[in-house]
Amino acid sequence: MLLLRCPLPLLLLLLPLRSRPQKLPTRDEELFQMQIRDKAFFHDSSVIPDGAEISSYLFRDTPKRYFFVVEEDNTPLAVTVTPCDAPLEWKLSVQELPEEASGEGSGDPEPLEQQKQQITSEDGTELFSYKGNDVEYFVSSSSPSGLYQLDLLSTEKDTHFKVYATTTPESDQPYPELPYDPRIDVTSLGRTTVTLAWKPSPTASLLRQPIQYCIVINKEHNFKSLCAVEAKLSSDDAFMMAPKPGLDFSPFDFAHFGFPADNNSGKERGFLKSSKFGRQTSPKPRVDLHRVCVGNKNIFTVSDLKPDTQYYFDMFAVNTNTNMSTAYVGTFARTKEEAKQKTVELKDGKVTDVFIKRKGAKFLRFAPVSSHQKVTFSIHSCLDAVQIQVRRDGKLLLSQSVEGVRQFQLRGKAKAKYLIRLKGSKKGASMLKILATTRPNKQSFPSLPEDTRIKAFDKLRTCSSVTVAWLGTQERNKFCIYKREVDDNYNEEQKKREQNQCLGPDTRKKSDKVLCKYFHSQNIQKAVTTETIRGLQPGKSYLLDVYVIGHGGHSVKYQSKLVKTRKFC
């Protein structure tokens, strides 16, 4: 990778430290903790603190450089760079410190600002370089003294990244350690569930540090870091917006990424005016990605998945003390297919009874033996509404909700085959009758008016009779009315449970029958008939039912009506 030259003097890029230098070799823990608490300490700083992970942001094709000083030879050093949502190019190099900058003459270390001024403008010695989106490490048990430079570049898009550097890698161990076998095992596979198992992190089992495991599920690909997951999850939130100047922050405030708080500084940074800034703030569609943390469990069943679908599973061990994570080796699996349901064959002109479980579905097939211009589907839903879909040779022709009796006429096609999918109600089981025919005059179910209620006239109510009315149609049909005495505490809920419209007069007692008559009217506005039911007992409740019977003998029941005779007359 091309070495990125610093566009400003090092004095302007690095934090001016007046009293103590920022150095890595001999970390003063008390001083370090003070620095972490003091947000102003790293304000707009290009200095990498020892033992703390920083989060920052890169604009595309705009390099960024970080510095730290190692003042003693043979110092352990570890640097970790975590790309979030785009590949990075990064390089670690070192320049020797001038001999007089070592601080040996006076016994006190010189401020970092003075050390920088003594560094030449020549390129340093390259120690390590990498290009990609993996979490990559530079580890050395014995590093030379010098000014270390970490150069980063994103050529693909604006992106986030994280950097961690330490001179005490053996004692720090902020990232959870992976087990000897870091793979995720799929132990069980179902149509809507996948059970995963993994070996515990030694950080939890041996070092007794607080570790929790977080599982990420998606349909696109595996993720190499939790940072990448967070970037994807928040792609339409402030997380993915370019940092705005004028905010109070430190590199440890994850949402602000180390940009200056000086209101004038934005004017000096040309990239803040570029189109990249505007593009980055535009919302992006939410991705189908889910994250669940399961504590210290080592086995977990993911549920509510879709059948016959490939999913990618990633596991991250998270140190809850440091909030830093390590990725296990991800895996993927395809859920099992839905059990193939038996398809019922429909015969032309014959009524078929269908029962569907709650939230279930049934498939039917209709293959006319002769050529046809039209095909008619008649549906009689006995209970709640059902959903019907009709496809002809794979093409969707119809998708409707059906309640009561409905008829659909579709254009035919030679040698066509029709697949009917019936989906039941969420409330309970569904029952229906269906008829498919290529003969337009074949009508098994009687036609119904839009309003199938029975109206009772309160003023015409007596101690021994009630008068009711109902609507008819232009088609001449046979209507039969039945009565049944019920208890006084009979209510609407009980009546609703008995609203199976497919149960015909043949299921009723002969004593329940009041009368049958034929009725129709060419003027639909006048298609109303009335009937007085006599011979009732005073102060009693009765349930009235009207059945309309079609030419094919199939009947449809109107909505039941609860009436009560007068007690005193």
pLDDT of residue 22: 41
Report the alpha-carbon angle 153-157-162, nearest 5: 55
Shared domain check, 407 and 354: yes
* The token pair that represents 36 in the structure block: 């972490």
Alpha helix stretches (DSSP H) within 14-61? 29-37
The 10s digit of each residue's pLDDT in 503-541 is 888 888 999 999 999 988 888 888 899 999 999 999 999
* The token pair that represents 10 in the structure block: 């090092």
The CATH number for 534's domain is: 2.60.40.10
The 10s digit of each residue's pLDDT in 417-447 is 999 999 988 888 888 889 898 886 766 788 8
Shared domain check, 179 and 165: no
Domain of 365, in residue numbers:
344-437
Q: CA-CA distance, 81 to 227, in Å (whole number)?
A: 11
Report the alpha-carbon angle 18-24-29, nearest 5: 80
Positive or negative CA dihedral for 256, 260, 264, 269? negative
pLDDT of residue 50: 85
Higher pLDDT, 43 or 556: 556
Report the alpha-carbon angle 40-147-243, nearest 5: 40
Shared domain check, 179 and 167: no
The 10s digit of each residue's pLDDT in 14-42 is 433 333 334 444 445 454 444 444 434 44
Tell me, yes or no, whether 315 lies in a domain: yes
Tell me, yes or no, whether 132 lies in a domain: yes
The 10s digit of each residue's pLDDT in 190-207 is 989 999 999 999 987 777
Shared domain check, 211 and 200: yes
The 10s digit of each residue's pLDDT in 342-398 is 888 999 888 899 998 888 889 999 998 877 888 989 888 888 889 999 999 889 999
Question: Pick from 299, 321, 338: which residue ends a domain?
Answer: 338
The identity of residue 9, as a single letter, is: P
pTM score: 0.50
Question: Pick from 437, 464, 491: which residue ends a domain?
Answer: 437
Confidence band for 484, pLDDT divided at 50, 70 and 90: very high
Count how many domains the chain has: 4
Task: Compute the average pLDDT of residues 296-323.
Answer: 91
Shared domain check, 352 and 433: yes
The 10s digit of each residue's pLDDT in 205-225 is 777 788 999 999 999 999 999
Give strand pairing partners of 483.
544
Task: Compute the average pLDDT of residues 282-291.
Answer: 65
The CATH number for 386's domain is: 2.60.120.680
Tell me, yes or no, whether 377 lies in a domain: yes
Burial-class residue 46 by CB neighbours within 10 Å (0-12, 13-18, 19+).
buried
Q: CA-CA distance, 89 to 230, in Å (whole number)?
A: 21
